[in-house]
Structure formats: C-alpha cells, structure tokens
C-alpha cells in the first residue's frame, strides 16, 4: 500500500503501517517526490511525499505517482490513495496519478531476454483507493487513453531511423487510423510532386527512401456542424532521420537525429486518442515525412525551392530542413481555412539555447489563441514559453534570388525559423508554432518522462483540442 502524505500530515495520525518516528529517522520529510518503503508484515508500505499542502498541484501529484511507480516497479501489485490524499480536485488528481504511473513505467528497446536487458518489471496491477464516482472512472479512462497516445508517440520517436523510414512511418499511421476509426490519406512521391510540395521534395532528394505526406481527419460523431467548436489543424515535422544533408552534422550532433520526427509522432499520438475522448471540434492533421540524407542528387546550398503556395526559398543550409517541409504542410493546412493551426517541430537548437531542455518555445499570431495553448500547457504540465516574432527580423531572411533564405544568420535562430514558417500560414488564421527541440527527449528518468523520447506535446494537444474555442482574427 502506498500512502500520499503532505508535510503537514506527517505529524498527524498516519495510516496503518506508517510510523512518524521511523519515517523521520529514515530522513523522510514528505517532500514532493520522496518515496520511503517500510516493511509491514508480509507486505511493503510506502510513504509518498507531496510537499506542503498549499503547493500541491496536478503536476506535483503526477510526478509523485511517477516516482512511486519507479520505486515499486519490481512488485507485483500496488494499491495507493495518492489521488485521494492530494487534497485537490479528485478527478484531476486521479488522472494525474494514472498518467504518472503509466508513463513512468514505459520502456523501449531491443534487448534480448538473456542479455543485459533481462531484468523485467513485474508490476501488473494498480488499485486506486478512494472514490468510485462516475467522474473518477471517466478520469481513469481518459488518463489511460492519453497515456496510450503518449506511448505511441514515444514508440515512434524511439524507433531507429533505419527502420522507421517515411514509408514505414506512414504505414504505422495508416494502421493506427484504421484501428481508431479516423480518416487517413497517404500521398506517395508521385502525388507529392503533383501537389507541388517543393520543400518536401527538396529535402528528400538525397535519400533512397521516397517521401510520404499523411493527412488525418477526426470528425466528431453525432455533433451537428452548427454545434461543432470549429476546426483545428495540427502539423507535425516528420524528418525520420536528419544527417544535415550536404551541410552535414558532426557525429555527436547526429546521434539522436532519429528523433527529428517527434513533432509528427506527437500529432499521431494525439489523433489516436481523439475518438475515445470525443472532443466537439473537427481536427485535421498534416505530416510531411522524409529523411534528410546526402545522396548524389541531394539539394545543394544555393538551390531554390518552390513551396506549395508558390513562394520560393533559397536553401543556404540544408540542415535547416524542417522549415522547408513544414512550409508545404502549413500551406496545405491553410488551404482548408481551419479556425486555427498548431505546428509541433524539433526545429532549432537555438530554442534549446534559450529555454533549456525542458521547455518548448511558443511563437505565432493571435494572442487569444496563443493564450489557449498556454492554458493547456499550464494544465498538463508540458511547459511552453512565449517568444516573439519581431517583424523587423524578417529582413534577416532577405535573399537576392528568391523570396527568402532558409536561414537568418547567427543570432535569434528560433525566431527567424518561426518567421519562415509564418510566410506559409494563411492570412488571418490563428497560428501557434511550438518548438519542441528540447523537451522532445530526455537524458534521464524524471517525473513522468523516461530516458529517450518523452512524447511531449500529446497531452498538450489533447487538452487544447478538448477545450478549443474559436477566436476572432486579429
């Protein structure tokens, strides 16, 4: 049994199996994330710290549940009152507990049973002690669905680039869509050429694996068009491996580049759970997929690409490829005149320099829509920080031979990348660009994150879609 304890509760009557004196002697002070195991007969009892009662939030509860899961992952069963003991809204706390436990136990790998990876987790059953009200059961179901979407995003992102080619990625998405009951359309290379996606074709030229462009559509069932809360478009960067192209990356910079499709993976994970959660808005998703390689006909620095909307880009650095494929996707998304567009991309190292490894950069236009993204971030704990898109920086992209260059110079790289994307979003459409270069992966287990791909963005997008409200153009 695992009991959640605030700092204030530590000095009061404790549940059976816990002794205040013993806990204090062991150094347990109920600090947020502390887990202390104690023997009690033929079972173990765990005290789980939540910190000061006034500071308990869903983030605190989610992280505490994750720490608990790691501490007991070799046990067979777990019962916990963590949600009930948190003192916050019961449904929110329950969802946080289920998400924290589920996501902390995630593992991915190709280890053999007889090799170093033979040590397996044994936790097979988790019981939540507390209310059985309908709202609590709904919260559990929602958490399980969302955790499944995050797991899918992590699985896709962790998959090696040599096996998750664009075609393989598209086939995985097609199977997911069939199972979930959402509409899917996959464009092969010939269809991409007919559609005039010069950015995607330019990036894929150096690869022996042909590109794909995938569109998904979720339409709420039983919701008349007049009662829908609008249409939101999700765009995800799907570079399945990024060598940098002819502007090749150094060896160290290439090690994690199988994860350069984390934006598309987050969009896929989000779309996979929408039928279960049944939001009232229509959701369309657009994902350009290719790897960025150095084949004999790879795009050269100085080449000019024509994007779907007719604008031209001079490519001066082939490693700034994400904005090229996203340009096509944003242009196509805009043609459908959605009520808002969100794109997720592991776009720039500059964003990591500015915000570190755990916070995504948020840029775009329409303050009220960007505020909705920030509100979703606040609720889910997937942190974003708003950055500007200064109009006077646009001149940094001026080209002598094309409408723009694909890079803007040594400084403000995250902002100039955002300014490139802005050129391909339809006039008046509220738009948010989320640069997830930092939080898309983690170097260590921390909270609900596990080492490797984090699935960042799935919970944020699910919350945004679920609470989306149309806004007036600015």
Nearest to 259 by CA among 159, 176, 356: 159
> Is 169 inside any structural domain?
yes
Share of the chain above pLDDT 90, in %: 88
Alpha helix ranges (H) inside 205-286: 251-254, 262-277
* Confidence class for position 10, pLDDT limits 50, 70, 90: confident
> Is 237 inside any structural domain?
yes
pLDDT tens string 204-242: 999 999 999 999 999 998 877 657 789 999 999 999 999
* Confidence class for position 162, pLDDT limits 50, 70, 90: very high
> Is 67 inside any structural domain?
yes
* Confidence class for position 169, pLDDT limits 50, 70, 90: very high
Tell me the residue range of the domain where 108 lies: 2-130
pLDDT recorded at residue 222 = 81
Nearest to 60 by CA among 86, 21, 94, 24: 86
> Is 422 inside any structural domain?
yes
284/416 same-domain check: yes
**CATH value at residue 68:** 3.40.220.10
Q: Looking at 83, 99, 130, which one is the last position of a domain?
A: 130
pLDDT tens string 373-424: 999 999 999 999 999 999 999 999 999 999 999 999 999 999 999 999 999 9
pLDDT tens string 416-431: 999 999 999 999 999 9
Q: Is 17 a residue whose pLDDT tops 90?
A: no
Q: Is 116 a residue whose pLDDT tops 60?
A: no
Q: Is 447 a residue whose pLDDT tops 60?
A: yes
pLDDT recorded at residue 460 = 98
* Confidence class for position 87, pLDDT limits 50, 70, 90: very high
> Is 474 inside any structural domain?
no
* Confidence class for position 173, pLDDT limits 50, 70, 90: very high
Q: Looking at 130, 158, 184, which one is the last position of a domain?
A: 130
58/106 same-domain check: yes
pLDDT tens string 190-204: 999 999 999 999 999
Number of domains in the chain: 2
Q: Do residues 448 and 103 lie in contact, with contact meaning Cβ atoms separated by under 8 Å? A: yes
Which residue shows structure tokens 């060598």? 243
Cut 0.85: pTM above it: yes
Handedness of CA 260, 347, 378, 216 (dihedral sign): negative
Q: How far is CA 50 from CA 32, 61, 102, 107, 374, in A?
A: 4, 7, 19, 25, 25
Q: How far is CA 77 from CA 40, 44, 97, 126, in A?
A: 15, 11, 15, 6
* Confidence class for position 364, pLDDT limits 50, 70, 90: very high
pLDDT, mean over the chain? 95
Q: What is the mean pLDDT of residues 109-125?
A: 74
278/397 same-domain check: yes
187/292 same-domain check: yes
Q: What is the mean pLDDT of residues 48-73?
A: 95
Task: Kindly state the tokens that stand for 307.
Answer: 């994007």
* Confidence class for position 114, pLDDT limits 50, 70, 90: low
Give the residue numbers marked as catalytic: 249, 323
148/90 same-domain check: no
């Amino acid at each position: 049994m695992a009991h959640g304890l605030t700092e204030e509760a530590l000095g009061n009557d404790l549940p059976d199996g816990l002794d205040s004196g013993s806990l204090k002697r062991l150094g347990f002070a109920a600090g947020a994330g502390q887990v202390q195991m104690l023997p009690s007969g033929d079972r173990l009892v765990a005290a789980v710290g939540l910190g000061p009662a006034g500071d308990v939030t869903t983030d605190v509860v989610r992280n505490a549940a994750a720490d608990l899961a790691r501490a007991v992952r070799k046990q067979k069963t777990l019962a916990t009152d963590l949600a009930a003991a948190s003192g916050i809204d019961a449904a929110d706390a329950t969802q946080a507990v289920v998400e924290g436990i589920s996501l902390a136990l995630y593992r991915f790998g190709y280890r053999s049973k007889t090799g170093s990876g033979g040590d397996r987790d044994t936790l097979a059953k988790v019981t939540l002690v507390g209310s059985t009200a309908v709202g609590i059961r709904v919260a559990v179901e929602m958490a399980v669905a969302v955790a499944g979407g995050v797991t899918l995003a992590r699985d896709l992102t962790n998959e090696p680039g040599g096996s998750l080619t664009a075609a393989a990625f598209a086939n995985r998405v097609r199977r997911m869509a069939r199972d979930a009951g959402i509409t899917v359309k996959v464009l092969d290379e010939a269809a991409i050429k007919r559609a005039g996606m010069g950015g995607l074709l330019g990036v894929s030229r150096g690869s022996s694996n042909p590109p794909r462009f995938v569109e998904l559509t979720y339409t709420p069932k039983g919701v008349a068009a007049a009662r829908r809360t609008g249409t939101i478009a999700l765009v995800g960067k799907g570079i399945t491996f990024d060598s940098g192209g002819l502007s090749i990356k150094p060896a160290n910079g290439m090690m994690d580049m199988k994860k350069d499709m984390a934006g598309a993976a987050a969009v896929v994970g989000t779309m996979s759970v929408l039928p279960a959660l049944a939001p009232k808005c229509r959701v369309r998703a657009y994902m350009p997929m290719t790897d960025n390689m150095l084949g004999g006909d790879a795009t050269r620095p100085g080449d000019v690409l024509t994007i779907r909307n007719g604008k031209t880009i001079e490519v001066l650095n082939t490693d700034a490829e994400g904005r090229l494929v996203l340009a096509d996707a944003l242009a196509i998304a805009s043609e459908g005149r959605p009520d808002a567009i969100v794109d997720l991309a592991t776009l720039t190292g500059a964003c990591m320099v500015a915000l570190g490894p755990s916070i995504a950069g948020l840029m775009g236009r329409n303050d009220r829509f960007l505020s909705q993204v920030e509100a979703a971030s606040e609720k889910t704990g997937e942190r974003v920080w708003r950055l500007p898109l200064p109009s006077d920086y646009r001149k940094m992209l001026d080209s002598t031979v094309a409408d723009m260059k694909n890079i803007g110079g040594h400084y403000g790289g995250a902002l100039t990348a955002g300014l490139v994307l802005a050129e391909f979003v339809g006039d008046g459409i509220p738009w948010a660009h989320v640069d997830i270069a930092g939080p898309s992966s983690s170097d260590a287990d921390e909270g609900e994150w596990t080492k490797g791909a984090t699935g960042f963005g799935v919970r944020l997008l699910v919350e945004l879609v679920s609470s989306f409200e149309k806004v007036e153009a600015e």
